[in-house]
Structure 1
Amino acid sequence: MTAADIIAAWNKPGAAAAIHPTRGISEDAYRASGQAQAELLAADFPAGAKVLDFGCGDGRVAIPLRAMGYDVTGADASPRMLAALADRDPGLQSFQSDGSNFGKHLGRRKFDAVYCLAVLIHHDYATGQQLVENLRAVVKKGGLLALDWPTSDAPSDGHGWLGVTTWSRDRQNEMAARLKMERLDVDRPWLVWRAL
């Protein structure tokens, strides 16, 4: 899928409820899932770190992470999601981006950590690779990247909004080596990398 396809899908009425499973249970369950993920990120990120949430949506994870004392900036391709974020937490910095134009919004600013959850799975290989490269470019040397970037013994380009793209471990490792990223041995629902 292209970034335009992703934006169009997110902008459809009811899209958020269809995408995140806890939203179908209750709004409280949805918020609790964000709190739980923020706590896992906080276990790896240095206290008070400057953090970029790419694919921040309505702030499900960004808002509780910010409440823990992190300097969080949100970025999302969907204006609708960013408007929902602004309604929930007007003080949280955010900008609209499909991941291709960070320089326009950030200049030379770099982050201590970046996380990208439930985003790469929706993109084809070429777009996913470009996103990982661009996210790596905005992390300081020694900084962390928490990426929901799944591998599989039978990798597949998801080809669709609800399809899931998975990568071969070899392809992922080659890309990480080229981008100077070291995989950390942590037990998380996503991969954590250190920028070398």
Structure 2
Amino acid sequence: MTSGNLLTDNPELYEARFPDPERLAGRWAEDCLRRYAAGPSVLDLGCGTGRDAAQLHSAGRSVVGADLSEEMLAYARDRHPGPRYVRADLRNFSLGPAAPLVPLAPGEPGAPGVFDAVVCLDSALLYCHTNDELDGFLSSCRRNLAPGGLLVAEMRNGAYFLGRNDLLDTPRDNSLTWQGVSYRSTTTLRIDRTAQLLRRTRVWTTDDGSAPVEQRSAWRLLLPQELRHFLTAHGFTVLELHDGPGPRTEPPWQEGDLPGTAADADRLHVVARLAG
């Protein structure tokens, strides 16, 4: 048994495992930006393979995509050109419109706000596991957003797991064929209540004789009112906070859908504006 992140290290496999042929995630984000008249400059945090950043770019926006994975960034530059792609840690970043990433020491003041919006999709925000990391994310957003700028985020909903266990502790299998090799993943979710984390173990096996690969990751379980509190404390006004429709809900978001009012299902969507 070896350890690694098979999907992050193989972005093409990632897109095969999580296809989005209609670019719903990027289109949903663009719909949110249009609804609140966001300016053209957008930072896509946790951009991954670049699909959503490229979709926002195709809508006429000036986009910077940021991710920690060099493999993802190289793939994005090659397969989804248009945005500028840089390496960044969403827990602490400062980025200018024409400069490479400028890392910040804790407490170091950042550059003036340069983005009209920050987009953070597919639970990337939940890799902030502690309150300090979440504060770091929101402080970085505040530093890099222009006054009145938007934060648009989409993630798993911690409230879904209050009294529900249908997604927990039962291995779930998925299979696909990529480059002539059949891959099978077995994924198990469990709650670490002390750390307030949803922990995921995923084991990959193939039919080519390769050793199994085990991946471990975790997401912070944020409750809707907890998220609202953090946003307000960092100078944001919450404009939307709901469980759908969104790009990963069932049924998925479609053009013309309005945001909901509940926050009970397994996805959470938030749009917040930084004070002017």
Cα pair 1:57 1:78 within 8 Å, conserved = yes
Determine the C-alpha separation between the residues in 2 that align with 1:112 and 1:75. Answer: 15
The range that moved more, 133-142 or 145-154, is 145-154
The range that moved more, 38-47 or 174-183, is 38-47
Aligned equivalent of 2:93: 101
Q: 1:75 aligns with which of 43, 48, 66?
A: 66
Alignment RMSD (CA, Å): 3.0
SS of the residue 1:58 aligns to: coil
Aligned equivalent of 1:38: 26
SS of the residue 1:101 aligns to: coil
- Supply the AA of the counterpart residue of 2:21: R
Aligned equivalent of 1:85: 76
Determine the C-alpha separation between the residues in 2 that align with 1:168 and 1:149. Answer: 11
Determine the C-alpha separation between the residues in 1 that align with 2:6 and 2:234. Answer: 30
Determine the C-alpha separation between the residues in 2 that align with 1:142 and 1:13. Answer: 37
The aligned runs of 1:9-28 (5 Å cut-off) are: 9=5, 13-14=9-10, 17=13, 23-24=16-17
The aligned runs of 1:113-152 (5 Å cut-off) are: 113-118=117-122, 119-126=124-131, 127-152=133-158
Cα pair 2:232 2:238 within 8 Å, conserved = no
Greater strand content? 2
Cα pair 1:50 1:111 within 8 Å, conserved = yes
- Cα deviations by residue, 1:84-124 (Å, 9 ceiling, x for unpaired): 01101344211111122325726435211111112122331
The range that moved more, 158-167 or 60-69, is 158-167
Determine the C-alpha separation between the residues in 2 that align with 1:120 and 1:129. Answer: 11
Q: How many residue pairs were aligned?
A: 182
Q: Kindly tell me: are residues 12 and 179 of structure 1, through their superposed partners in 2, closer, same or farther at Cα, counting changes over 3 Å?
A: closer
The range that moved more, 94-103 or 74-83, is 94-103
Q: Kindly tell me: are residues 15 and 82 of structure 1, through their superposed partners in 2, closer, same or farther at Cα, counting changes over 3 Å?
A: closer
Cα pair 2:43 2:119 within 8 Å, conserved = yes
Determine the C-alpha separation between the residues in 1 that align with 2:53 and 2:147. Answer: 23
Determine the C-alpha separation between the residues in 2 that align with 1:137 and 1:123. Answer: 17
Q: Kindly tell me: are residues 41 and 193 of structure 1, through their superposed partners in 2, closer, same or farther at Cα, counting changes over 3 Å?
A: same
**Identity fraction in percent:** 23
The range that moved more, 161-170 or 80-89, is 161-170
Give the alignment's TM-score, normalised by structure 2.
Answer: 0.56
Cα pair 1:121 1:148 within 8 Å, conserved = no
Cα pair 1:114 1:139 within 8 Å, conserved = yes
Determine the C-alpha separation between the residues in 1 that align with 2:8 and 2:240. Answer: 38
Give the alignment's TM-score, normalised by structure 1.
Answer: 0.76
Structure having the higher Rg: 2
1:151 Cα deviation (Å)? 4.5
Greater helix content? 1
